[in-house]
Amino acid sequence: MKTLFTNLNEGHLEFIFGLTKLMAEEKDAHNILDVLLAQLIEITGAEVGAFVFYDSVSDAFKVKRIKNLNNKNDGDTYFSETVFRRILKEREAILTFDTSEDGDYAGIKSVEINKIHAILAFPLEVKNELYGIMYFDSRENRQSFNEASRQLLSFFAPIASLTLEQALSAKEITAENIVLKSQLDVHSKLPRMIGDSDIMRQLTRLVTKVAPTDVSVLITGENGTGKDLVARAIHELSSRKDKAYIAQFAGNIPSSILESELFGYKKGAFTGANSDKPGLFEAVNGGTLFLDEIGELSADLQTKLLRVLQNQEIKRLGENTVRKIDVRIIAATNRDLQKMIHEGTFREDLYYRLNVITIVTPPLRERRSDIPLLANYFLKEGLNNPKLQITQKAIKKLMGYNWPGNVRQLENLIKRAAILSNDDTITDEDIIFDENENSFNGTMEEYKNRLISERVKEFNGNKTLAAKSLDISLRSLQLKAKELGI
């Protein structure tokens, strides 16, 4: 700061101390500006005071606050942009004792029309950028400002700027916290569903919309994509969350055993039925039953499940008593049920009863950006070892893999890598893929061609993103894509 504050007296210093204290008590930036205007217009003797915001994007000045002591309407008060531009350039307080004698203001219409006699203004900076200008002038009363006023504002400008910057930063932090909290609230409602990719955000929004309803849900997706986690999240976000949640795997279980598990049985219904036993439908009454691999159900069980969905009632094996139940059924499969319907192996009416809402769990290769989050989650939470770290090279290696086993495979690989690692750090050498996990019997050139084709398809033809994901130059990928005709 060039100015030596030789003209400031004890009264000025007391004013600065008092105004600084007033500003410190205000937490809102708008209130701070109001306090500044009111106090400074009084000590300078100005008739007009204003805060002028500088929009750096449009390079425009916008008057946000005006205080008039001459009984004029704010809309009839005009200002000289020449002053604003000068402050933008010099970043120092300016003082013009008499505009008629100052050549810098000769011929400026706003000064002549408004009969502006004296001008005093100083910059407010936030993070070393011009945020706005505090502007004061004298018009009708022909008040002349003095050098002490200019020095006062030059001395006070950094203090005012710092106070304003702190208030604005606090406001930004508060707004950011609100956004983060809203995001955290949504994601924390979905247990163990880790991911911040667009496709996972869409999944989260769909789950939160579907959960409060009571409709049947069909979850489809490859093995290891978290269909069971989606089902549990739906239950925990529903009005049934305080009731039972039971998951039953329907694949590779003999039909008679699965039927007895679901519907229960009466004593003597079959050999070994030594007492009455309620089934899962009764045990989960009022709650949610998750049936995994619904496509494996026998034709007979498909028919009985359809009756449950239609009538909300069951009969135990070996008895004729009809029992009313209240159960929400969520089903999951990795099979193509519509193809099975066409082949006659799955009932179409059952499909439409189950498939009121379909939720598709995405494969890990379609949400590679979530791999760092997932890997660190499995390290910190799954292995319960907060000291474990993973290098960027290891993450890069993970993101370049195709993941046929999806998230479940990633979790198992991270556990194995943690065992193999030294010094609580997983390196790329600790990341070992099983030979059978993604087997390919062709040549290296054929494998490279297939990988490039798959990656371009995965990114919907965007070769820039495909090249970045493969860690090769865009030019190399473009040449290979041209060769392959993609």
Residue bearing tokens 């009264």: 11
- CA distance linking residue 406 with residue 362, whole number of Å: 9
pLDDT digits (tens, 9 = 90+) for 2-30: 445 556 666 666 777 777 777 777 667 77
What's the CA gap between 88 and 353, in Å, rounded? Answer: 68
Specify the pLDDT at position 178: 44
Q: Which of 195-199, 327-331, 391-395 has the highest mean pLDDT?
A: 327-331
CB 288 within 8 A of CB 300: no
Stretch 334-348: mean pLDDT: 93
CATH topology of domain 198-360: Rossmann fold (3.40.50)
Region 10-173: CATH code? 3.30.450.40
The residue assigned the tokens 């909290």 is 181
Q: Look up residue 313 and give its two tokens.
A: 């009632």
Q: What is the C-alpha separation between 309 and 351, in angstroms, rounded?
A: 11
What is the pLDDT averaged over residues 311-321?
90
CB neighbours (10 Å) of residue 222? 19
What tens digit of pLDDT does each residue of 242-254 get?
A: 999 999 988 878 8
Mean pLDDT of 360-377: 92
Mean pLDDT of all residues belonging to the chain: 81
The pLDDT tens digits for 234-244 are 999 999 999 99
Beta partners for residue 96, in sequence order: 119
Domain ranges of the chain: 10-173, 198-360, 364-430, 444-484
Q: Quick check: 106 pLDDT over 50?
A: yes
Distances (CA, A) of 244 to 53, 247, 287, 320, 348: 58, 10, 5, 26, 29
Question: Which fold is adopted by the domain 364-430?
Answer: Helicase, Ruva Protein; domain 3 (1.10.8)
Mean pLDDT value of segment 67-74:
69
Instruction: Name the class of domain 444-484.
Output: mainly alpha
DSSP string, 211-263: TTS---EEEE--TTS-HHHHHHHHHHTSTTTTS-EEEEE-TTS-HHHHHHHHH
Per DSSP, the residues of 351-403 read: HHHH-SEEEEPPPGGG-GGGHHHHHHHIIIIIS--TT-EE-HHHHHHHHTS--
pLDDT at 272: 82
With a CB cutoff of 8 Å and minimum separation 6, the contacts of 24 are 163
Question: pTM for this one?
Answer: 0.53
Size (the chain), residues: 486
User: Residue 339: what pLDDT?
Assistant: 93
